Amino acid sequence: MPQLITPEIPRKGDGDNDASRAYNDAVVKRPHEPTVLNNRGVALERQGRYEEALAAFSAAILYDNEDVYAWNNRAVILTRLNRPQEAVLACKKALAIDRSCIFAWVTYGMVLGRLGKYLDAERVLAVAEDLDPQARALYPGNSTMTRA
């Protein structure tokens, strides 16, 4: 089960620096492992290092273009970097990979809302709620996901 992180209020602290160091070490040992790259991106995102997080998610996608976690996380970071059009494309790719990924539906809805496409956002968020009535708990912020 993925661990959820709500990046609207990034968590900063020694634990995040430790996680970042651990993933940096893991990337050195397994530089082509999408899971490691994705998780490194989440650790960087928690520190507010969004450009580096985007690079990590992009690298994960290079090694596994079907990684729904990395595509969703890329969309979250692109939104944070005020690049919503690119975020929409990342959301669409995530949903093309896994139409049942609640997190990708929620991210997509949030991006559409930021673009002022409120009716489309409402429709997309309703799909997330149809998949899981608890999806509303993800609405306050987009969610990045670490992989087990």
pLDDT in tens, 114-140: 999 999 999 999 999 999 988 877 766
Q: What are the structural domains of the chain? A: 3-146 (1.25.40.10)
- Give residue 144's pLDDT: 67
Q: How confident is the model at residue 145 (pLDDT cuts 50, 70, 90)?
A: low
Q: Tell me the C-alpha distance between 145 and 101, whole Å.
A: 11
Mean of pLDDT values over 7-22: 50
Tell me the per-residue pLDDT of 23-35, one tens digit each, with 9 for 90 and over.
455 445 556 789 9
Hey, which residues does 144 pair with through a beta bridge?
5
Task: Kindly calculate the radius of gyration of the chain based on its CA atoms and give it in whole angstroms.
Answer: 14
Q: How confident is the model at residue 141 (pLDDT cuts 50, 70, 90)?
A: low
**Token digits of residue 143:** 């969610």
CB atoms within 10 A of CB 94: 26
Q: Tell me the C-alpha distance between 11 and 32, whole Å.
A: 27
Tell me the per-residue pLDDT of 38-78, one tens digit each, with 9 for 90 and over.
999 999 999 999 999 999 999 999 999 999 999 999 999 99
